[in-house]
Structure 1
């Protein structure tokens, strides 16, 4: 995991004293390095003489309603412990904003490999298919979790998931809008009119399931932790599958890189049809209808997220130095979605 050395926004002495009171066997002194990745909830690697931890906090400044829900992240990590879905251990949630200036939680540091490009340049060609198979297997396992059994039956609202999500991300986009984007307006009109019937049983959906939110084992194509649960809720699991498959259509160069224009066969990357078929087989699902809707919705949601990053950057509250570049992706992402519905 890559990090940039900075702890200027954390009072380490106060934080260490607090954690020593609330986390079993926690002992200072404490060092902190802020992770370079991530746009929403600032994240730090904490080093102590005996153990490493990860701290995720809400960003400073005015926050959109329901955004940056670190308490929900903590809850879902606790619920998934022991289910077989690979997650970090959740140590402690601090709702007292006086400690470091915002709500935060502490989880275990999962040592492993994080890949920032879905082309997997760090991996031998013949192994890349196995990494993708592990990703799909992990996603299917997540969606097979019985939410009532793990205490997450109330983790999302009732009603059609996509209708609620389109309403949510339209509202979030409008709240962060800085200039008109014609493609976003077209999607806001088209998506509600084309919602498919919802799944019979809602699943736990991650909401941001992409390759750089996965930690892999050092020695095998095996996912050892799913990161960044801020957008998780109960909903239609096909949203996660389509969101991951966006990487096949995203440009190969840019702040959020994809595989568009690359020879996936030469790279050893499976085609979309193969990944979707593997997922459906693992979960016992029939052929997926209206696939382009799920893809278009995924681009729309990511465009809304990018617009939120742009708004925070203009306000001076972004948690990452590349926030302006990410924010500039809102319009191109919306255009890619419109291509799917035209």
Structure 2
């Protein structure tokens, strides 16, 4: 919670550190999202959004909103839809934590990838645009936008596996058999050939509820906290994994709606991969299922972090308990996929 007297500090900071000529009169917390507390910033001119780091003790390396800010600034004039940003503040004395300011995007925030309230043609356009965004992330000239030192793509999988094992252990609340299986076997099966591919910009959490939509297009890709440089196919396989989840999970999915897919306008996983390969000129990776299993392991680690923050009392969303409980189902799915690769 940001106290009312902090708004005075915020207005002073905005006046001295941005080009905005506004007067903030209210901050209203969004009740969605599990990571970084985010607020609707009401002003005398128009609405903005203020994104903050959680207060309290945090996992090392987590909640890097400075990276979010840097990458969105770099992408401002690209084909990737991001909100315009207006300033970053490291001084925690202003409102009690670090923050940055960006435009408010007036659109739809969806969780169900089946997009039940959209027409077939609208679904088709939205899914095709998502593939276009992933293509642009793969092909964008990272040096040209000043992000050539934004990450170290070689050895990405090795580092990520070590990171998420550590993050999982630091937030572990019980033993999960399928997660232990992934921790033991994922490191043994890393495909060496993935490091031979040219690096690209990675969003790191490419899923529907990190997007703002209107009825025909994605108007904003948000939550760049996990962004870095990495080999291709990481974001794509992560998104494809999300679509394998069941709809009755709090995090949503299409896994139990395959019988409805044929005339829905939503492409299958195979079709998504085919379109992406055609647009990027890349060859289909032999290690596709490994990447799905890796992303299950990684996402289970993210979910376990949410579960721990709920216990610690510093989670951002209102449904954190339900979301955190999905750690085990996601790990089970990942272990099943990994066993298919042997």
TM over 0.5: yes
- Residue by residue over 1:89-145, the C-alpha shift from the partner in whole angstroms, topping out at 9 and shown as x without a partner, is 111000001111111111111222222210101201233122111110111112211
Work out which of the residue numbers 304, 307, 312 in structure 1 matches 2:309.
Answer: 312
Could you tell me how far apart the structure 1 residues matched to 2:218 and 2:155 are?
30
Could you tell me how far apart the structure 1 residues matched to 2:166 and 2:85 are?
31
- Residue by residue over 1:224-260, the C-alpha shift from the partner in whole angstroms, topping out at 9 and shown as x without a partner, is 2210000001112211001111232101112101011
1:102-113 to structure 2, matched below 5 A, reads 102-113=97-108
Aligned to 1:153: 148
Aligned to 2:333: 336
- The DSSP-based 3-state class of the residue aligned with 1:30 is strand
1:85-234 to structure 2, matched below 5 A, reads 85-196=80-191, 197=193, 198-218=195-215, 221-234=216-229
Does 1:284 pair with 2:281?
A: yes
Query: CA separation of 1:85/1:268 partners in 2, compared to 1, >3 Å: closer, same or farther?
Result: closer
Aligned partners of 1:206 and 1:233 also within 8 Å:
yes
Aligned to 1:65: 60
Could you tell me how far apart the structure 2 residues matched to 1:157 and 1:25 are?
35
- The DSSP-based 3-state class of the residue aligned with 2:87 is strand
- Residue by residue over 1:39-58, the C-alpha shift from the partner in whole angstroms, topping out at 9 and shown as x without a partner, is 11011111112122111110
- Residue by residue over 1:258-300, the C-alpha shift from the partner in whole angstroms, topping out at 9 and shown as x without a partner, is 0111122243321111111111111011122111111111111
- The DSSP-based 3-state class of the residue aligned with 1:39 is coil
Aligned partners of 1:204 and 1:233 also within 8 Å:
yes
TM-superposed CA distance for 1:83, in Å, is 2.1
Normalising by the residue count of structure 2, what TM-score does the alignment of the two structures yield? Answer: 0.94
- The DSSP-based 3-state class of the residue aligned with 2:314 is coil
Could you tell me how far apart the structure 1 residues matched to 2:68 and 2:177 are?
34
Number of aligned pairs? Answer: 335
Aligned partners of 1:245 and 1:272 also within 8 Å:
yes
Aligned partners of 1:138 and 1:223 also within 8 Å:
no
Gaps of 5+ in 2: none
Could you tell me how far apart the structure 1 residues matched to 2:5 and 2:28 are?
10
Aligned to 1:3: none
Aligned partners of 1:7 and 1:34 also within 8 Å:
no
Work out which of the residue numbers 40, 46, 50 in structure 2 matches 1:51.
Answer: 46
Stretches (4+) displaced over 6 A = none
CA root-mean-square deviation: 1.6
Gaps of 5+ in 1: 1-5
Aligned partners of 2:202 and 2:227 also within 8 Å:
yes
- The DSSP-based 3-state class of the residue aligned with 2:186 is helix
Aligned partners of 2:154 and 2:230 also within 8 Å:
no
Normalising by the residue count of structure 1, what TM-score does the alignment of the two structures yield? Answer: 0.94
Query: CA separation of 1:152/1:123 partners in 2, compared to 1, >3 Å: closer, same or farther?
Result: same
